[in-house]
Amino acid sequence: MSSALSTHELLKQFRNVPVLDGLNLDVPEASVFGLIGPNGAGKTTAIKILMNILKASSGRAEVLGADSRQLGPSEFDRIGYVSENQEMPEWMTVEYFLAYLKPFYSTWDDGRAEELIRQFNLPRNRKLRHLSRGMWMKAALASSLAYRPRLLVLDEPFSGLDPLVREDLIEGLVESAGETTIFISSHDLADIESFASHIGYLDRGRLQFSEEMASLTARFREIEVTVEPPAILPADRQWPANWLRPEATHALVRFVETRFDAERTSGEIRRLFDRVQQVSVNPMPLRAIFVTLARNAPKAA
Amino acid sequence: MNVRQALHIFRKDVRYLWREICLVQFLVAVFVWTETHSQDPWWIEMLLPVTMGYLIARLIHAEAVPGDRQFWITRPYGWKNLLGAKLLFMLVFVNLAISIAQMLILFAGGFPLGHSLPGLLWSQVLMILILSLPIAALAAMTAGMVPFIFSTLILLAIAYGGEQMLLMSRRLPLQKTLEWPAGVEWVRHYIAIIAIAAIVLPILYMQYKKRQTLLSRTFAVGGAALGLVAYVCMPWPFAFAVQSRISKQPFDGSSLRIALDPSFTKFFPEPRLEQVEVDLSIAVSGVPGGSDLQADALTAIFQGPDGRAWKSGSFDFSNSSKNSHGVFTLRGTGLMDPIFFNEERGKPITLKSSLYLTLFGNARAKTVALQDTPVNVMDGLQCYSDIMGDVLCRSAFRWPNLMVSASVGGANPNVFTRFISYSPFPASMHLNPIETRLALASTLSTHDVTIIVSEPLAHFRRDVEVRGVRLVDFPGGK
């Protein structure tokens, strides 16, 4: 599968402080790629370099096959970009904003624009400055979906929005997924989980891992082992590196398996623990995976 | 360039800035009204550029260049289209508006518009280079009105400080090198305009094509500093050499006989300046018949027998006359170091001077009966007399680069001004398209006035050396 976005050893420093430290990223076409990571991980910086808003200190990035430093009108004709802190022409009404943008795009679809206005319940004659945060974000998204871009880049689009608005936005995105590659950075993991096909985890400027959502959720499991008391954790050197956040209570050992394989994991458990009474294997939501990774960043990938 | 996109952005800007556009057009209308009804509408000439600057800054900030959050930078804007739209807006709502206003003022004043057309166009070129583009470039390097106003205030403070330093320096011996002969000062002005264009055009290019604000700001500061130093340090003899090269006819002045005229040369201390004032009088004969001569500048070196020298700056020439034998007497005033004066005045010294002269000719005259309403005389000049009987003439966009005199009832002609610019360009940078000058002539006795104009034909330099001059031989020299 070809890439919609890719970066190669991307480095960005602000006053000699590295924000991106050799980022290698590959976003397949037609995917919904969620870039997650703690605050200050470099997500917004990476996106701004990809959108040719910032210059990288070194390394390179490609967007739809073009060098990101060369992105110009012909590339932006096929790219949508929405950011939570974008400055919009707030004096424009929603209707005029869309009408103004229309001639810039060769693939602008009036029908799609109308549909988005209705779907997002946007007030046509209200100025952007008078919209609520949720409506503002919907208008921004509508203005980027109406020309059916090949690539849609969203930087923290759900930040500070109420659940209903998030749901509306996700609905709009899901409808476009398939024809559009969606690259989204967000802290709202539950929202991403609902529609992302790929996940990348960025921490301290480095991509800790990047994989398909199905594979990620398949390999992360929270395991609870009930043993005869007292439960004792084996010595560090015996503890598998891919078992994170171990904790032991009276008769229970709990940990996160990051490379779950039913047969292999079961064998490991029986090797390390005597008198195993019960093993409980629980799938993990993305939020729990994220917390596990964030707290064990060096080992996680 | 995609003209449709540029026009689309232009229409958006008109819609966005309609209030500011109305304000500017209202002030333009007030400008026309005051210029045609008031004697001194200085306030509108101050207010209008400020408002136009505000409009241009708002226009540029509608798609601010610095920053990383603007919506337009990730939309398919072509930089040429965006810049083209902004330039078109400035042309329509600033330059066209002012052009129409100036045409109306000239029309109301009875000036023939055909004759004024080159001036009209050139004044707009100057306005674009001096007002519109620098403001646009400054706005393109700032993200909003607050930093723009702050930057403007800093620039104005630097300009004011520089001007004050120049004024202060006039008390120093350096003074005369900083003062330029009025006739060639346009060379310095146009070099400054070229420098401004050389700074602002690359800035606009860099900002709109690459959005390299840090580089643009560095370039702007460096360029402005270099330009300022060049402007202050540029020697006026260079400008005079330029002027000589574009003289209408070749004349090297070698046929002229030049001598120090002792009758009016004198020295007297000027305690306020701690200098000795030198009045030099120079007699020039051999000027071709039918021609007139004017001294634009003189520099002098007084060299003592021991090799010690005093080098003056340029002398101010405020007076020249011609006697019945065709000998011109040129009188200039300069300053001399009192220590040199006191120590050398009894010794035979050598005076080495360079005279910068302009030969006028092709004189034409026309006699008109002046009234209180201006009448077209010739060469774009309109003349009239005021209620005091003074003779006034005015012209469109600039005072012509001609020596203009008025003779009332056959009396000796009085020039309107000796400080004419020899600039070959048809306009100077003023909003008010009419420039008026007064002649020291009165029409109280008769209204018949002969207006005489003569053209500057040749600009040339003559170096003169007079040996054995003793300052004590002149009045004040003892």
**Exposed e or buried b per residue across A69-97, where buried means at least 16 C-beta atoms within 10 angstroms of its C-beta:** eebebebbbbbbbbbbebbbbeebbbebb
CB contacts of A81 in chain B (<8 Å) are 74
The pLDDT tens digits of the residues spanning A98-123 come to 999 999 999 999 999 999 999 999 99
**If pLDDT is split at 50, 70 and 90, which confidence band does B259 have?**
confident
The most distant pair of C-alpha atoms in chain A lies apart, rounded to whole Å, by: 72
**Lookup: tokens for A278:** 């019960």
> How many CB pairs lie under 8 A apart between chains A and B?
47
The pLDDT tens digits of the residues spanning B433-464 come to 998 888 877 766 777 888 899 999 999 888 88
Q: 353-412 in B: which are within 8 Å (CB) of A?
A: none
Q: What is the side-by-side order of every strand in the sheet holding A243-248?
A: A243-248, A252-257, A221-227, A276-283
- Contact between A126 and B27 under an 8 Å Cβ cutoff? The reply is no
d(CA B409, CA B390): 14
- Contact between B443 and B369 under an 8 Å Cβ cutoff? The reply is no
**If pLDDT is split at 50, 70 and 90, which confidence band does A295 have?**
confident
Q: Which has more pLDDT, B409 or A142?
A: A142
d(CA A144, CA A90): 16
In angstroms, what separates the C-alpha of B194 from chain A's closest C-alpha?
32
CB contacts of B16 in chain A (<8 Å) are 89, 91
Q: Is the CB of residue B37 less than 8 Å away from at least one CB of chain A? A: no
CB contacts of A88 in chain B (<8 Å) are 71
- Contact between B429 and B127 under an 8 Å Cβ cutoff? The reply is yes
Residue B216, H or E segment: helix B213-233
| Residue contact B71–A88, C-beta within 8 A | yes
| Residue contact B68–A48, C-beta within 8 A | yes
* The predicted structure's pLDDT at residue B231: 83
* The predicted structure's pLDDT at residue B172: 52
| Residue contact B67–A89, C-beta within 8 A | no
DSSP string of B22-78, one letter each residue: HHHHHHHHHHHHHHHH-S--HHHHHHHHHHHHHHHHHHHHTT--SSS-BGGGGS---
* The predicted structure's pLDDT at residue A301: 47
d(CA B265, CA B283): 11
| Residue contact B74–A53, C-beta within 8 A | yes
| Residue contact A105–B67, C-beta within 8 A | no
**If pLDDT is split at 50, 70 and 90, which confidence band does B61 have?**
very high
- Whether the pLDDT of residue A300 is over 50: the answer is no
- Of A55, A85, A87, which to mutate for an interface test with B (greatest number of B Cβ within 10 Å)? A87
In angstroms, what separates the C-alpha of A205 from chain B's closest C-alpha?
20
In angstroms, what separates the C-alpha of A44 from chain B's closest C-alpha?
11
- Whether the pLDDT of residue B312 is over 80: the answer is no
* The predicted structure's pLDDT at residue B171: 52
| Residue contact A76–B75, C-beta within 8 A | yes
* The predicted structure's pLDDT at residue A107: 94
- Of B69, B74, B77, B213, which to mutate for an interface test with A (greatest number of A Cβ within 10 Å)? B74
Judging by beta carbons within 10 Å of its beta carbon (0-12, 13-18, 19+), is residue B455 exposed, middle or buried? middle
- Whether the pLDDT of residue B386 is over 90: the answer is no
In angstroms, what separates the C-alpha of A72 from chain B's closest C-alpha?
7
Q: 14-33 in B: which are within 8 Å (CB) of A?
A: 15-16
Q: Is the peptide bond before A230 cis (omega within 30 degrees of 0)?
A: yes
CB contacts of A54 in chain B (<8 Å) are 68
Closest B-chain CA to A71: B74
The pLDDT tens digits of the residues spanning A55-66 come to 999 999 999 999
| Residue contact A89–B62, C-beta within 8 A | yes
- Whether the pLDDT of residue B174 is over 60: the answer is no
Global ipTM? 0.87
| Residue contact B5–A104, C-beta within 8 A | yes
- Contact between B109 and B71 under an 8 Å Cβ cutoff? The reply is no
CB contacts of A73 in chain B (<8 Å) are 76-78
| Residue contact A76–B8, C-beta within 8 A | no
CB contacts of B215 in chain A (<8 Å) are none
Q: Which has more pLDDT, B23 or A273?
A: B23
Closest A-chain CA to B75: A76
CA count, 13 A, side-chain hemisphere, B287:
28
* The predicted structure's pLDDT at residue A188: 73
Percentage of residues in chain A having pLDDT higher than 70: 98
| Residue contact A83–B70, C-beta within 8 A | no
CB contacts of B4 in chain A (<8 Å) are 103
Percentage of residues in chain A having pLDDT higher than 90: 60
DSSP string of A162-207, one letter each residue: -HHHHHHHHHHHHHHBTTBEEEEE-S-HHHHHHH-SEEEEEETTEE
In angstroms, what separates the C-alpha of A136 from chain B's closest C-alpha?
13
Q: 119-148 in B: which are within 8 Å (CB) of A?
A: none
CB contacts of A90 in chain B (<8 Å) are none
DSSP B248: S
Tell me the pairing of strands B309-314 and A276-283: unpaired
Place of tokens 């005869």: A228
Judging by beta carbons within 10 Å of its beta carbon (0-12, 13-18, 19+), is residue B315 exposed, middle or buried? buried
- Whether the pLDDT of residue B319 is over 80: the answer is no
The pLDDT tens digits of the residues spanning A172-222 come to 888 888 789 999 998 777 778 888 999 998 888 888 888 898 888 899 999
**If pLDDT is split at 50, 70 and 90, which confidence band does B6 have?**
very high
Stretch A249-265: mean pLDDT: 91
Q: What is the side-by-side order of every strand in the sheet holding B375-376?
A: B375-376, B382-385, B390-396, B434-442
Q: By C-alpha distance, which of A51, A90, A85 is closest to A68?
A: A51
Q: Which has more pLDDT, B86 or B476?
A: B86
Question: CB-CB: which of A77, A85, A86 is closest to B76?
Answer: A77
Q: Is the CB of residue B215 less than 8 Å away from at least one CB of chain A? A: no
Tell me the pairing of strands B375-376 and A276-283: unpaired
